[in-house]
Amino acid sequence: MNGRTSARVGMVGAGQLARMTQRAAIDLGVALTVLAERDDDPAVAAGAAVEHGAADDPDALARLADRVDVVTFDHELVDGPALARLAARGVAVRPSPSALAHAQDKLLAREAFARLGLPGPAHAVATDEAGVAALAAAHGWPLVAKARRGGYDGRGVVVVADADELAAVLARGGEWIVEQRVPLAVELAVVLARRPGGAMAVHPVVETVQRDGICHELVMPARVPAATAARAVAVATELATGIDAVGVCAVELFVTPTGDVLVNEIALRPHNSGHATIEGAVTSQFHNHLRAVLDWPLGDPSMRALVAATVNVLGADDGDVAARVPTALAVPGAHVHLYGKTSRPGRKLGHVTVLGDDADAALTAARRAARALTRPA
Amino acid sequence: MNGRTSARVGMVGAGQLARMTQRAAIDLGVALTVLAERDDDPAVAAGAAVEHGAADDPDALARLADRVDVVTFDHELVDGPALARLAARGVAVRPSPSALAHAQDKLLAREAFARLGLPGPAHAVATDEAGVAALAAAHGWPLVAKARRGGYDGRGVVVVADADELAAVLARGGEWIVEQRVPLAVELAVVLARRPGGAMAVHPVVETVQRDGICHELVMPARVPAATAARAVAVATELATGIDAVGVCAVELFVTPTGDVLVNEIALRPHNSGHATIEGAVTSQFHNHLRAVLDWPLGDPSMRALVAATVNVLGADDGDVAARVPTALAVPGAHVHLYGKTSRPGRKLGHVTVLGDDADAALTAARRAARALTRPA
């Protein structure tokens, strides 16, 4: 069209991450098309253009690719070989299928982290009896069994007390790895954006509070010693560079009581642990994800306030969350984000961020607002 | 739908103000439907739901009203009697047709400001020869002729050097008023949101730089003495209360070299002079507009930084603005907003906001980024 071309980004998946990417796309004049299965998916409800289809359908991926300049992701449950074929015929797939594989395959990820010299939990392939025995001898039971592929939000993770429990898990089928159970002082995440040429914008380290494998709360910056934060950033940037990540990636890390920093996993897309960047950072992870996959200059990832606290809104009932918004907005400083989802117990429906000078005060306010959204008034 | 109802807001018009309202609607889980004539209108391109039709078509307004909980506006060129009929049959029209009239009819506005005891330029009805003669005697020529209805961005405003020039303007047809030409030290705007019950959130006073009647630049907070800023806020809040405004309203004010503060005009909708609130304020004018028209608690309108400077991106050619975005984003701190419009000389295509500690530095950076969007690299 004369005088008007928008950069066209295609995103596989249409959940809340794509929804919040649509918000950034509006700012930047980017045309976002999502690959969606349902018209009430969060990003479709937010007005992103839609290609209908499933992320594991090679034809749907190809149709999406035909409409856009670059293909990126709101989740990693995508058909790897189909992506590789797209990339092979010249489609800009960012992150690349080989980088994305580190978020799809826990065994491949652990092996890559080790090859890069990055510290991670000791692990073994679950069917390798000698390896598991050595792991148990070194670290003791219980160990943690993790599905090699497809787990998220705590699904596909099982603490196993002994070899019999491990055998029961393996009997479910699928491939598993087994890891030492890391003693935890705190969990951290480093959210960064990386351009194809390697330039990076790294947000301050985030402290995450997980329950049952689901992220409940974030505090940015993390309340850890500066050396620990610096170590986390060093590990995350080495990892992102080492696997040639492009776009936003979120590196989740364990910190042990003795201060060791271990890589848990990496997501190659905007991530729940980066939600505090919407209000808390000069440039949000969603803006920088678009900028990175389009190979545009990245925005300043530093903070706009001393502290940002984010509390996820997890459904507690099947009540009308939207009707509770005014009560949540009555909490001073509460930035409410809803994902346009029907409430069900445990479902991520939204999040609330509060900025401030004090982490405890910001967390308290964000919890109050999040609670208002999940309970009848 | 069980467990899911979104608040439904209908906005008459689908320009950049509706586009930026869609961005806020995504955050709040609000379903925004715009009344639009074209599918490439900025808010439609941003994914707002659409009711097709014209703002001066009573049937189209009624169709929009049938789809939503509350009707509001992205501009004021709306059929007043049709709105009044909607309100009479119980549709929530916010602002009310009678409040909106102050943005539609300059004579009615001047009379209302005077009745409220608020200072404005001396004026007369253009066909009132004695009134015009008295105005000229008191203030001297030139005077300013303004179309009573329908003017915007400098259209419908003519400086007239004498009675003959005024007669030539009147010969064009339409109703006109005539005002003293106010000697200007600076122009200000006060952007505030007001709920139906009267609660208000008032942003810091903005300094606006107009050229040919079009807003070019904003500095928030305005670089004026505290007493002047306080006077501007007092006038704006009295005016909003006096006409029972609901939603965002922007009061534009003249400051004379002797420090007098005069009301120029009022817009009852999000306004160009409030664009710096997106990054510069804790709560943007777009979020607070939705919150106000839904009668939800308002958000904190105070600043997140010492200074916010915004420069409008006005088309200089018919070049490809989107292709220039990377150059603009290379300016440190530049928050680029594009409206998805084709470039034409003089057209408002977007804006750039830069936050900082120093107004001149922020303005310089915002101008650099805006210039990058309007000139070939």
CATH number of the CATH domain containing B158: 3.30.1490.20
Q: Is residue A108 part of a domain?
A: no
* pLDDT > 50? residue A1: no
Would you call A300 an interface residue with chain B, using a CB distance cutoff of 8 Å?
Answer: yes
CA atoms of B275 and B17, how far apart (whole Å):
9
CATH code, domain with A201: 3.30.470.20
> From the CA of B329, how many Å to the nearest CA of chain A?
6
Determine the residue of chain A that is closest to B329 in CA distance.
A297
Closest Cα to residue B217, out of B344, B364, B338?
B364
Same domain? For B148 and B167 the reply is: yes
Determine the residue of chain A that is closest to B294 in CA distance.
A326
Same domain? For B36 and B74 the reply is: yes
Q: Is residue A110 part of a domain?
A: no
Q: Is residue B36 part of a domain?
A: yes
Interface of B with A in 8-47 (CB under 8 A): 19-20, 22-23, 26-29, 31, 45-47
Same domain? For A136 and A274 the reply is: no
pLDDT band at B3 (very low <50, low <70, confident <90, very high): very low
> From the CA of A215, how many Å to the nearest CA of chain B?
20
Same domain? For B291 and B195 the reply is: yes
Is B26 in contact with A20 (Cβ distance < 8 A)?
A: yes
Residue B210: the pLDDT is 86
Same domain? For B66 and B157 the reply is: no
Higher per-residue confidence, B151 vs A81: A81
Q: Is residue A109 part of a domain?
A: no
CA atoms of A181 and A200, how far apart (whole Å):
32
Question: Percent of chain A scored above 70 by pLDDT?
Answer: 98
Assigned token pair, A106: 């826990």
Closest Cα to residue A30, out of A351, A300, A275, A295?
A295
* pLDDT > 90? residue B376: no
Question: Average of pLDDT values for A314-322?
Answer: 88
> From the CA of B361, how many Å to the nearest CA of chain A?
17
Question: Percent of chain A scored above 90 by pLDDT?
Answer: 90
Same domain? For A145 and A287 the reply is: no
* pLDDT > 70? residue B293: yes
Same domain? For A31 and A134 the reply is: no
Q: Is residue A143 part of a domain?
A: yes
Domain boundary residue, one of B160, B180, B200: B180
Closest Cα to residue B32, out of B55, B56, B58, B50?
B50
Residue A214: the pLDDT is 83
Same domain? For B26 and B148 the reply is: no
Same domain? For B192 and B58 the reply is: no
Q: Is residue B114 part of a domain?
A: no
From the list B29, B322, B355, the residue facing A6 with the nearest CB is: B322
Residue A342: the pLDDT is 87
* pLDDT > 70? residue B266: yes
pLDDT in tens, B119-141: 999 999 999 999 999 999 999 99
Residue A2: the pLDDT is 41
Would you call A197 an interface residue with chain B, using a CB distance cutoff of 8 Å?
Answer: no
Residue B377: the pLDDT is 65
Same domain? For B218 and B275 the reply is: yes
**Structural domain tally of chain B?**
3
Same domain? For A152 and A268 the reply is: no
Closest Cα to residue B172, out of B154, B146, B211, B152?
B146
Same domain? For A161 and A208 the reply is: no
Question: Average of pLDDT values for A327-344?
Answer: 95
pLDDT band at B53 (very low <50, low <70, confident <90, very high): very high
Average model confidence (pLDDT) across chain A? 95
Is A46 in contact with B26 (Cβ distance < 8 A)?
A: yes
Interface of B with A in 101-140 (CB under 8 A): none
pTM comes to 0.96
Is B335 in contact with A5 (Cβ distance < 8 A)?
A: no
Terminal Cα-to-Cα distance of chain B (whole angstroms):
51
Would you call A330 an interface residue with chain B, using a CB distance cutoff of 8 Å?
Answer: yes
**What ipTM, to 2 d.p.?**
0.94
Torsional sign, CA B177, B178, B180, B185: positive
CATH code, domain with A68: 3.40.50.20
Is A322 in contact with B29 (Cβ distance < 8 A)?
A: yes
- B311: domain range? 186-374
Is A3 in contact with B323 (Cβ distance < 8 A)?
A: no
Determine the residue of chain A that is closest to B301 in CA distance.
A333
Q: How far is CA B233 from its chain centroid?
A: 16
Would you call A350 an interface residue with chain B, using a CB distance cutoff of 8 Å?
Answer: yes
Q: Is residue B107 part of a domain?
A: no
Q: Is residue A254 part of a domain?
A: yes
CA atoms of A338 and A372, how far apart (whole Å):
13
Domain boundary residue, one of A93, A109, A130: A93
Determine the residue of chain A that is closest to B328 in CA distance.
A297
Domain boundary residue, one of B158, B180, B202: B180
